[in-house]
Structure 1
């Protein structure tokens, strides 16, 4: 009897073990993407291959969609023998590189007693927290395969058939194909290319997607130095105007589809100027008979005149039938003397920054930021050292799939009172003294969902000046008020570490700490979006009214405002 019992227990244990942990095999698992309970086939799927103690994980795009040329081939390999993980990328140029890490460095998982059946296999649940995300892994040892479609989430016994992130995003095994080992090639490539660390690996992948146009590289913007501009309109050469306070370059910008995002990145530091200054990066539209180029080359008086009610002239500030004003990309403000004055003034508990970096999303201007364009930068100053500025335009694809090129968006600059040629006699924006700025514009047929992107900053640097006083900006379309806005920044003290030359008052406040009309020394000003969705095609008039502060002796206030209309084609 005892022998029969022993034989039964031995047979049951062997059979159970065979089910619980199958003999090692080779094969492929396909995982679908499920978001909030719904399958998302447009995300493609993930494939896991297992053969001879090596796991390969690779994402497969959906359908027959063509990938953009810069999309790299990426795969992750888990070598269970070497106990290493390799991430491999092959660029469209053929260049390949990889990063390696140890399996021992993966996060540990906690095994629970919960089970779930997936594709007929009993799976156990493992959990972990990863960067504050809850990860649930359902794994089984019954398939004879090993690995996980989500290696950053740690390894388990057997193979993971489902990964759930924060209860909403899932990778779920959809099919398993077992392959005879003799028919499956070795998974780990012999040539992994150059080895780099994880930071450089990811940076190379990102850089491969991003198109960067370096417009200016450490160019000097200053006053009073000798200027020798190239003859004619030469692409790629830097021109200096307005005594050297405006730099300009003709560049070739990429032709991209509407799903791209574009950012302007500006890096600036003082080369001798101690003061906070108004800065602007702009583009010059050349779609009409006259452009702002005329003013830069031939003087401000060559630009179309705008008259206020007192008969004062302002040059090139509004759109006309024959002229489009400069299109402002970014309004920024230099801090007090960053870098140049860092060693000349020490303040307790403040470590000065080396430069200011401004990076702003200007994707709403994408239709204008393609093809050949004149891009400029202005920093108002009267210093021979002035400032050093670099500018990159960065284009980020919205998808790795090739999109059809469509003309979806409409862009029209309509006013800009920032006197970019301040140091060459262009008038300050003082037309608001008992008056309003008026501009007539046209919306083409087929354009809808129009909005105004509005940038406004007040100036007048004394206690009674508009730099330090809140003023209401009222906007009217065809006589009807559509928007009221008070530009104001109360967070200027956060920029103290960029302002070594700022004056320090007896009470512990620095000049750079003071709140201002829509700007701070060391900041960029965000445009305000004003919806004009009911605007119909045809001719309209816009008015901007601001209660301009009164003069005090030689001190006066002015407003730098710029506006561009953006719409969508039906």
Structure 2
């Protein structure tokens, strides 16, 4: 439903309400059979979807804000939630979460606060600027091939609240969720990107091989551009979460993103004060405590704030050639104590080309490179197998090369930083820095 109203800041604003107060249930339980709100699809206990109508898509203006509102029910802990744009083959009346024909990009992520449903405020809002999706919503070619659905996800677990929150005994409803868009043409120019590449959608960066060794895992993705692309904008969302003492949840460590072996993004999660979000954390918890914390205290350790939206980071490449490209994301000093913890990563790209908007298949490759640092051998593990490994010094001189082996020996070389050029049997090629102790 779209309605119009006058607002001092957004003089003519379209409001599109997609999901209203949908009830979410225990994410570990069998999918409930409770009635589904009109027009929604329940993909599982943690995710609802609704198709955007043609009238709604046509109504989107150049500047688009997305608001997620999460209400407290019977989960009083911090959880991760996401918003996805799902592209479903045209006129397919329903779909499943793992339907391979559905293309999906994550357009927003948030962290629920520690909420007690009996205390106010009992809901928390999250706001995102998604103006870049104007060209997606209005693309006739894309809309002729796909129906566009919005998915609102919030995973919750009620077990603690069943004993800690009055009125929650025996209940498995965990949160309520609302998704609304606002758009205006005031002070904005419509985007004109016509290439959309969904590279990663909530993929686990680490710990898919259950490793406790730092620097062992690298996430690689290869994608193909049928035509050259200009003004290629990449959107990156990641969260370190649940990794025990000393792990990724509480220790701030640098993340690195590469395109075709060129470092394009470096960041350290967190580093802000969580005090502005204290008001939403109505259930006592160890993160906020009873008294306010200083800015220095918060920024010394926090990777995120319960009650806050996760930053959408990004970078732009002026020109990308047609053909295959590789994205690599790594946290070289990551620690996953007792094989616990995850870093979920989403990346998509928009740009301009001389073809119509396209959504292409993406190939994901999991690679382990370890140990790093090393005193002798470095091993590369991948299901694709290793075709060759070439060792270079940082001046670019080739030092050694192995074919058909998955490891190379650095014991004969001086301590320092070296570069591996790795070719997998499936054709993926990438470079990776190694420290020799």
Instruction: Report the TM-score range of the alignment, normalised by the length of the smaller protein.
Output: 0.5 to 0.7
Quote how far apart the aligned CAs of 1:501 are: 1.0
Shift of residue 535 of structure 1?
2.2
Q: Indicate which of 547, 552, 561 corresponds to 2:332.
A: 547
Find out whether 1:556 has 2:331 as its counterpart.
no
Aligned to 1:395: 183
Structure 1: distance between partners of 2:232 and 2:256: 18
Deviation at 1:264, TM superposition (A): 0.6
> In structure 1, what is the Cα distance between the partners aligned to 2:122 and 2:289?
26
1:363 aligned partner: 131
Match of 1:377 in 2: 152
Structure 1 position 248 matched with structure 2 position 49: yes
**Distance in structure 2 (CA, Å) of the matches to 1:213 and 1:202:** 15
**C-alpha contact 1:430 1:548 (8 A) present in aligned 2:** no
Q: Does 1:439 align with 2:229?
A: no
Q: Which structure carries more strand by proportion?
A: 2
1:464 equivalent in alignment to 2:246: yes
Q: Distance in 1 between matches of 2:9 and 2:108?
A: 28
Q: SS at the partner of 1:366?
A: helix
1:220 corresponds to which residue?
23
Q: Deviation of residue 428 (structure 1)?
A: 8.0
TM-score by length of 1: 0.49
- What is the alpha-carbon distance in structure 2 between the residues aligned to residue 459 and residue 548 of structure 1? 15
Provide the residue aligned with 2:41 in structure 1.
239
The verdict on how the C-alpha distance between 1:437 and 1:517 changes in structure 2, with shifts beyond 3 A counting, is farther
CA separation of 1:563 and 1:509: change in aligned 2, threshold 3 A? same
Post-superposition offset of 1:221: 1.4
The answer to whether residue 69 in structure 2 is matched with residue 267 in structure 1 is: yes
Q: Which has the larger radius of gyration?
A: 1
Aligned length: 316
Q: Counterpart in 2 of 1:334?
A: 112
* CA distance in 1: counterparts of 2:346 and 2:315, whole angstroms: 13
Structure 2 partner of 1:316: none
1:118 aligned residue: none
Deviation sequence 1:338-362 (CA, Å, 0-9, x none): 5x042xxxxxxxxx53421111101
Among residues 531, 536, 553, which one is paired with 2:321 in the alignment? 536
Return the structure number with greater helix share: 1
CA contact (8 A) 2:82 2:154 kept: yes
Output aligned runs, 1:491-506, within 5 Å.
Answer: 491-504=273-286
Distance in 1 between residues matched to 2:351 and 2:197, nearest whole Å: 9
Moved over 6 A (4+): none
Task: Give the 3 Å change call, closer, same or farther, for CA 413–374 of structure 1 in structure 2.
Answer: same
Match of 1:130? none
Q: What runs of 5+ residues in structure 1 fail to find an aligned partner?
A: 1-69, 71-90, 92-200, 304-321, 343-351, 419-426
RMSD between aligned residues? 3.6
Q: Distance in 1 between matches of 2:59 and 2:174?
A: 38
Distance of aligned partners of 1:506 and 1:390 in 2 relative to their CA distance in 1, 3 Å threshold: closer
**Cα distance, 1:508–1:206 mapped onto 2, change above 3 Å:** closer
Question: Once the 2 structures are TM-superposed, how far is the Cα of residue 415 of structure 1 from its aligned partner?
Answer: 0.6
> In structure 2, what is the Cα distance between the partners aligned to 1:507 and 1:337?
15
- Paired with 1:506 and 1:411, the residues of 2 have a C-alpha distance of 44
Pair 1:355–1:539, CA change in 2 (3 A): same
1:480-537 CA-to-partner distances (Å, cap 9, x unmatched) read: 3222221223311221111011315888468xx9556652100001211212223223
Moved more, 459-468 or 364-373: 364-373
Which residue does the alignment assign to 2:393?
none
In 2: Cα distance, 1:498 partner to 1:336 partner: 7
User: What SS does the aligned partner of 2:343 have?
Assistant: strand
SS at match of 1:386: strand
Whether the aligned pair in 2 keeps the contact of 1:490 and 1:514 (CA below 8 Å) is yes
Partner Cα separation in structure 1 for residue 228 and residue 59 of structure 2? 20
Question: Take 2:186 and 2:228, find their aligned partners in 1: how far apart are those partners?
Answer: 25
In structure 1, the residue matched to 2:207 is 430
Q: Measure the CA separation in 2 of the matches of 1:210 and 1:506.
A: 40
Question: Is it true that 1:478 corresponds to 2:260 in the alignment?
Answer: yes
| Preserved CA contact (<8 Å) 1:450 1:568 | yes
1:5-26 CA deviation, whole Å, 9 max, x = no partner? Answer: xxxxxxxxxxxxxxxxxxxxxx
Alignment of 1:115-134 (within 5 A): none
Q: Secondary structure at the match of 2:70?
A: strand
**How many angstroms does 1:408 deviate by?**
4.2
**Partner SS, residue 88 of structure 2:** coil
Relative CO higher for 1 or 2, CA cutoff 8 Å, sep ≥ 6?
Answer: 2
Assess, with a 3 A threshold, how the Cα gap between structure 1 residues 218 and 557 changes in structure 2: closer, same or farther: same
1:277 aligns with 2:108: no
